[in-house]
Structure 1
């Protein structure tokens, strides 16, 4: 699913709610009923509940004179304030020879001090007021968060703004961060699951695409303090910043404080997010593309999937429910029931739909299984995709998946901070503020025919790309029946 709504919750939370309601009913019954006399208690399996409905509170949107967008939501339950920010930057701007620059910049904006305070002073002051600040820069955006007590909001916001506007990138902290990044690269091949995730992304998007490319010892070594300062100067501007504030504050006092800390920050040229095109999948592909990474391990880590639609595609709601029924819903999914419960082939198995608004999404099935079972598990993957394309889901599967999706909508707004964060997210992506409500309403209207059409349109077994990580001798034989098998040799990380 998209980064705005996580995987629909499983039956567990709903079951807990029903148990609580059942005990409530028991408490209301006469003692004779509780003692087991003639009248019987309601069967919880037959109990019916009204659909969960929830209308998120409105979040106020304001724009400062320098273009900085602000979202506000007061919540006076606790004397806490959360300030979050999204920055129009990202690792998609990394020069090829210095891949990792954006990530290091985000890291050191927090740890490298500011023009007004040394890194040590920042750490000590945040510890004194029990506040937390974090920064990071990912593929498509940068993010920053401040959590602070109401009484220390002015102090916390001043430090937050200093780090955001004028990071110092202290040389010692830069060298330390580079050494830590290089050590992480050298340990990158220790975990077969991580290898599977990285190499699968490369198969899908290409090794040089921002969604798949990796930093190397060489690229990180080349990065200098001046590179970090220039990346910050070039990409982070107030008119490319969206700030969300939630918690215990007075609106007028907060606005005055925001103008005091950010108001004199001049506008700049904000980069427009532009990703390189992905080579479209061939519609003439007659066999799956099969790859493996040789690593001596007792299990095979499997992934099989393809590029798919964006979150804004009309078929996204239907495909999200298809994925939920197939393997995205944990214990009640088809893959889990078949591969784990009935056949005992894997402890961990499922599917995932990753969609966004900037590039084709990614859909895949995954499992960790014994080397001897790899062939059978991939065969089950294919069989279940074909079944999804061949016959409608059952009425019970459709109802459970829709109910789970709709119920999970509530948990997308679990706190005032999460409500504001989602509005910031939607603003960043240019989506309407009621996007999640629209998505929920579309899911409610889905039919079995809608799901069958989506599966037939977007799931194609012959176009799957398969990746396995495990013993090369075992995998080369196990995968041979699915297509031409190619080995991916990992470069030495040294």
Structure 2
């Protein structure tokens, strides 16, 4: 655990734990935090390009590729590859989101060489064997069938389909039954060539490894990769259909609700003010206005909240709750009223100060393990926020003013109209 990073994150006056860049000859650069506290190394990496790159009609290719990368590589079958990982307690995983395909690796120092070799094989020479493809396809289809009766999943899918209609972000990253059935091995190979490449990777490493040894590991893990092929352009977009309400008909006693407005991207100068404003509205679990008004005062829902969603080509303020079918209209009315109050009045000075105090005081909790630190660093690198972001972040939050809040509110809430999707059978929608 890199405890000095946690200390630095709370102080915000010095550099983030001596996180330093480590570059290699093939052009791979990592952000490195050396910590000898325990004999572990955590590695996180992210390649530009994700589900937004899926071919038309074949949603799910990027996510399927991510699930197949450790299903055999080089001369190792799926079983042999997994046995090698298990024998050395090496944790290797991959995931795909809308704009990126990434992964993480955690290993004991004494097994680092073997772990890096297995990572290099998985990235450069995935087997994509027919039996593995069909196994993952069957698992994905089974999951999709199960999700048909999950109101949370169905509400979210419909919400993004409406919010980004006609845009790659409208497609479910896990695909549909039809798109998953249509994916071929050639699609997976083409996606691998497009995304898994030397020129589009960000890496962070935390743990008991020095800069020289890390540079060697980076060369072995990423240095032999080809340059990635050009990605398809993903056009900028905004939340569509604001003011519209849609129902996904499911025979359940309560409706799951998704609602949203526009947002600002993490890279935007107004993100931090929007982040503080979101905490006041619905991001502060027990203290937010929505929690107090929807749950505590009226007992309309067990949980309610909002968060900021930031993609490469879009951003939004996204919210959730669930309530009895006959009380959906009431819950949405309360949510709309609270957004309207923030538009017209803004938060009180006391609300604003409490939000800033919480967000600065709790920031270090995201840095309590080497793996969390590595993932935080690689996300910051992916967003292009600079290696000093961790040191600057609390000051950025602490300096947010009422004027900043009003400006961010005008950009995100606008006139208060929301896109709403309810999965269930609401009677007063």
* Distance change (3 Å), C-alpha of 1:123 and 1:406: same
Are 1:89 and 1:271, in contact at CA under 8 Å, matched by a contact in 2? no
Partner of 1:60: 20
Matches within 5 A, 1:448-463: 448-463=402-417
In the aligned structure 2, how far is the partner of 1:450 from the partner of 1:160?
A: 44
Partner of 1:347: 302
The answer to whether 1:136 aligns with 2:95 is yes
- Aligned partner of residue 205 in structure 2, secondary structure: strand
The offset of 1:367, in angstroms, is: 1.7
Partner of 1:103: 63
**TM-score in terms of structure 1 length:** 0.79
Counterpart of 1:179 (choices 138, 141, 153) is 138
The offset of 1:207, in angstroms, is: 5.4
Comparing 80-89 and 165-174, the one that deviates more: 80-89
- Structure 2: state its 5+ residue gaps: 1-8
In the aligned structure 2, how far is the partner of 1:226 from the partner of 1:366?
A: 38
Partner of 2:6: none
The offset of 1:121, in angstroms, is: 1.1
The answer to whether 1:304 aligns with 2:259 is yes
In the aligned structure 2, how far is the partner of 1:143 from the partner of 1:124?
A: 22
**TM-score in terms of structure 2 length:** 0.90
- Aligned partner of residue 259 in structure 1, secondary structure: helix
Paired positions, count: 418
- Aligned partner of residue 433 in structure 1, secondary structure: coil
Partner of 2:292: 337
- Structure 1: state its 5+ residue gaps: 1-50, 480-494
Are 2:28 and 2:218, in contact at CA under 8 Å, matched by a contact in 1? no
Partner of 1:126: 85
Are 1:139 and 1:211, in contact at CA under 8 Å, matched by a contact in 2? no
In the aligned structure 2, how far is the partner of 1:175 from the partner of 1:73?
A: 40
Counterpart of 1:443 (choices 383, 397, 404) is 397
Partner of 1:36: none
- Aligned partner of residue 421 in structure 2, secondary structure: strand
Partner of 2:47: 87
The offset of 1:336, in angstroms, is: 1.1
Partner of 2:248: 293
In the aligned structure 1, how far is the partner of 2:228 from the partner of 2:220?
A: 22
Are 2:49 and 2:101, in contact at CA under 8 Å, matched by a contact in 1? yes
State the structure with more CA Rg.
1
Structure 1 segments, 4+ long, off by >6 Å, are none
* Distance change (3 Å), C-alpha of 1:424 and 1:392: closer
In the aligned structure 2, how far is the partner of 1:116 from the partner of 1:204?
A: 45
In the aligned structure 2, how far is the partner of 1:247 from the partner of 1:279?
A: 40
The answer to whether 1:432 aligns with 2:386 is yes
In the aligned structure 2, how far is the partner of 1:202 from the partner of 1:410?
A: 35
Counterpart of 1:223 (choices 183, 186, 189) is 183
Partner of 1:241: 201
CA deviations on 1:29-68 (whole Å, 9 max, x unpaired) are xxxxxxxxxxxxxxxxxxxxxx952442122213322222
Are 1:317 and 1:442, in contact at CA under 8 Å, matched by a contact in 2? yes
Are 1:204 and 1:307, in contact at CA under 8 Å, matched by a contact in 2? no
The offset of 1:438, in angstroms, is: 3.5
